[in-house]
Amino acid sequence: MDENNIVEEVVEANVIKKTNSKAIIGFVCGLVGMFCCFPVGIIGLVFSIIALKESQGDEEGKGKGFAIAGIIIASISIVWQIAVIAIFGPATIDFIKNPNAFMPY
Amino acid sequence: MIKKNLEAYVFLIGSIAIIFLSIILKYQDGAVYTSIFNIRVSSLYSCPIYTVFKMPCPTCGLTRAFILFTHFKFIEAFRYNAGVFVIFPYLLAQILFQIIEIHRTNNNINNNKLRKLNLYLLILVGVLLISVWILKLLHVLPII
């Protein structure tokens, strides 16, 4: 075997194939959005969609799984926050207690 | 150029926006108001975790703590969420980090060490924020 071929193989084996950082950010933001006050799920969704588009252009599709998981989790966190605020939020409770205050005419 | 540095721009603008908003908002009479038109904004949003489970989440009180912190009311800020003493310096560091990262990426300089340092800082901030939350749940720190 040629020495150059061995060197190339070693180099190829040592190349670290990194996952798309946007996919990881999207996934983490989506996950954090489930457990905190701030609507970081929106940031997670945007990053995950961008990561998914980028991974479709990539032959190996690195980070595609993370991006899809990020989209699902971020969507759930957004829906969860909106639903809770819509159902139990202070504005809704104020409206239930005193609807006339919101509709003066 | 923006597409190449998308993450850096998002974190840079996000950090500046959070600090700017906490400066222009004010906290009085148990509610958050805008400084200019005195519009009450705290009635529009509530923590989903607290609303459903009646227990604070790790970031509960952080908005009020940020507002009070940027108005130099440090003791009151500590009472709302002690995590502000970790997150505020982190955000200031983020502004510096991201400006350096954008500059280095545009000049094709390797950013790996800077990113690694930033990741370790983020993990440290996350751990400290969760520690503060646990202390709140154990009633060592006040829940407001």
The pTM is what?
0.76
Which residue did the predictor score with more confidence, B99 or A63?
Answer: B99
Cβ–Cβ of A89/B6 closer than 8 Å? no
How many distinct structural domains can be found in chain B?
Answer: 1
pLDDT at A57 over 80: no
The answer to the question of residue B1 being in a domain is: no
List, in sequence order, every residue forming a beta bridge with B40; answer none if it has no partner: B33
Mean pLDDT of chain A: 76
Which residue did the predictor score with more confidence, A60 or A14?
Answer: A60
**Segment A47-58 mean pLDDT:** 83
Q: Report the distance separating Cα A42 and Cα A78, nearest Å.
A: 7
The partner residue sitting opposite A90, judged by closest CB among B10, B46, B52, is B46
- Spell out which residues of chain A touch residue B57, defining contact as CB-CB under 8 Å: 35-37
The answer to the question of residue B142 being in a domain is: no
The answer to the question of residue B60 being in a domain is: yes
Return the pLDDT at B144.
67
Q: Report the distance separating Cα A71 and Cα A65, nearest Å.
A: 10
A82 in B contact zone (CB under 8 Å): no
Return the pLDDT at A10.
55
Instruction: Write out residues in chain B with pLDDT < 50, as ranges.
Output: none
Instruction: Say whether A26 sits in a helix, a strand or coil.
Output: helix
Return the pLDDT at A104.
47
Mutate to test the interface with A, among B59, B80, B81, B116 (most CBs of A within 10 A): B59
A91 in B contact zone (CB under 8 Å): yes
Helix (H) / strand (E) element for B83: namely none
Chain B residues within 8 angstroms (CB to CB) of chain A: 6-7, 10, 14, 43-52, 57-60, 62-63
Which residue did the predictor score with more confidence, B55 or A8?
Answer: B55
Reported as a single tens digit per residue, the pLDDT across B29-53 is 778 888 888 887 776 667 888 878 8
- Mean pLDDT is lowest, of A77-81, A93-97, B3-7, for A93-97
At B84, the amino acid letter reads: V
> What are the E-state strand segments in B43-140?
none
Return the pLDDT at A58.
67
The partner residue sitting opposite B57, judged by closest CB among A37, A80, A85, is A37
A29 in B contact zone (CB under 8 Å): no
Return the pLDDT at A61.
63
Whether ipTM > 0.90 holds is: no
Backbone angles phi, psi at A58, to 5 degrees: -80, 135
Distance from CA of A70 to the nearest CA of B (A): 16
Closest residue of chain B to A54, computed from CA coordinates: B3
Instruction: Say whether B40 sits in a helix, a strand or coil.
Output: strand
Return the pLDDT at B16.
94
The answer to the question of residue B119 being in a domain is: yes
- Write out the residue range of the structural domain in which residue B73 sits: 6-137
